[in-house]
Amino acid sequence: MTRRAIALAPASLPAAAYDFSCRRCARLAGFLDTVRGDHPGYFCHPVPPFGDGKARLVIVGLAPGKHGANATGRPFTGDYAGILLYGTLFDFGFGSEPESLGAGDSLRLVDARITNAVKCLPPDNKPLPAEIRECNAYLAVELATLPEGAAVLALGRIAHDAVLRALKVPSRGHAFKHGASHALDRGVRLFDSYHCSRYNTNTGRLTAAMFKRVFRDIERHLNRERSRAHTA
């Protein structure tokens, strides 16, 4: 399978939500070139959103991992962080399989989509503020497609801030806190969780039980909004 064949955003998303050939950020583009030289079999391009283009749940991470999404071309696939995320999505009916093994496997997300605040691999997993702002244009186009009553799950503070920027919501009154949620326009609600990284899970900052509590809150919100739409 070619890199270009893998790099397909959901067809129902606007074309401006993803650019396979983006090189807007010189530092990130140069770093991808270096990594591609070291690992010629890796994807090494902006990683597209994965999942349902009309999803009511959109999960926003930070950026691709070097040997994970940057290698496979699918968010949270090939690294430790995806174990808890995809397992939890499966437990709550958002995924057809409990694991994401690679971009060519049979996994399908149901009414859910995963994307990142920054689409390209950053050195040391640390994008610069200017790079986060530059990439926010893609996230803004993507989140503009959110249906009424949708849920957005931000994995970490940077993702949280990127969502607010993309939706033009002021940060005042919408501080990041694990387990918090924030009412936005059109019945959309932003949910916060610590990132499901190896460090956070190994240190106990984020446990499977804590993560599932956030998903139960999301599930209740989506069910409530679905009932409200049916009775309107």
So what's the pLDDT on residue 169? 97
DSSP assignment letter at 104: T
E strand or H helix that includes residue 225: helix 208-231
Q: Residues near 53 by Cβ (< 8 Å), separated by ≥ 6?
A: 9, 10, 11, 12, 13, 113, 145
* Residue 9 confidence class, pLDDT cut points 50, 70, 90: confident
So what's the pLDDT on residue 204? 97
So what's the pLDDT on residue 7? 54
The answer to whether the beta carbons of residues 25 and 88 sit under 8 Å apart is no
Both tokens assigned to 139 = 């996230």
* pLDDT of 207 over the 70 cut: yes
Least confident of 9-18, 109-118, 213-222: 9-18
Reduced to 3 states, what is the DSSP secondary structure of residue 99? Answer: coil
**Whole-angstrom Cα distance, residue 212 to residue 157?**
19
* Mean pLDDT along residues 39-47: 97
**Domains of the chain, earliest start first:** 3-231 (3.40.470.10)
Q: How many helices and strands (H and E) does the chain possess?
A: 8, 6
* Mean pLDDT along residues 63-69: 97
The number of C-alpha atoms within 13 Å of 44 and in the hemisphere containing its C-beta is: 14
The number of C-alpha atoms within 13 Å of 31 and in the hemisphere containing its C-beta is: 18
**Whole-angstrom Cα distance, residue 142 to residue 11?**
12
So what's the pLDDT on residue 201? 97
Percent of the chain with pLDDT over 70: 96
* pLDDT of 21 over the 90 cut: yes
* pLDDT of 5 over the 70 cut: no
The answer to whether the beta carbons of residues 116 and 148 sit under 8 Å apart is no
Query: What is this structure's pTM?
Result: 0.95
Least confident of 103-112, 125-134, 178-187, 222-231: 222-231
Reduced to 3 states, what is the DSSP secondary structure of residue 68? Answer: coil
The answer to whether the beta carbons of residues 100 and 107 sit under 8 Å apart is yes
* pLDDT of 4 over the 70 cut: no
* pLDDT of 3 over the 60 cut: no
